[in-house]
Amino acid sequence: MTAALPPLTLVIGAAASGKSAFAERLITATGAPALYIATAEAHDAEMRAKIAAHRARRGAGWTTVEAARDLAPPLAAARPHQPVLLDCATLWLTNQLLAEADLAAEQSHLLQSLAACPAPVIIVTNEVGAGLVPETTLGRRFRDAQGRLNQALAAQADLVVLVSAGLPLVLKGHLPGTAP
């Protein structure tokens, strides 16, 4: 049953922190067939291997939709009792940035699409602001845009979980099955 999942969950952490695996476990625990919205694009062998590893870890029972930039259609098409995993907001933002999209407009559209989604959604995103200051203007622009996006997603989310070294730390709300 998906009733235990809040309408919107944000799972945030550093690269390779275990955030995707944690989000997958939250959804798998519902026992419902899940929708996976993939924002990654396989431009090289390393990314193809990473995508294959994610698919293998999820196993059967997941419907995958690839949506590098336009997340509104798959979010609107989700069934009410079909949990959605959007992995990940960081790659979605990268795709928008590289396409020279209006980031503020795209962020607003994403937030509206999430609010209108009839199913519970878990979004995975990277915390990128804790490291070094990027050398390039594009890198700094991305870091700042990612920070703004993460803040907006966290404000809208019912549950926010930071994952570090595979361990979850609840920042807002409570995990399904635990007391409020």
Catalytic residues: 54
| Eight-state DSSP code of residue 75 | H
Amino acid code (one letter) for 125: T
Q: Find, among 81, 172, 156, the residue nearest to 113 by Cα.
A: 156
Tokens of 89: 């907001």
- 9 touches 26 (CB < 8 A): yes
CA dihedral 96, 98, 99, 102 (to 10 degrees): 50
What value, to the nearest 5°, has the Cα angle with vertex 94 and ends 39 and 138?
175
CA dihedral 77, 61, 165, 66 (to 10 degrees): -40
For residues 148 and 31, give the distance between their C-alpha atoms in angstroms, rounded to a whole number.
33
- 107 touches 153 (CB < 8 A): no
Amino acid code (one letter) for 15: A
Tokens of 127: 């915390």
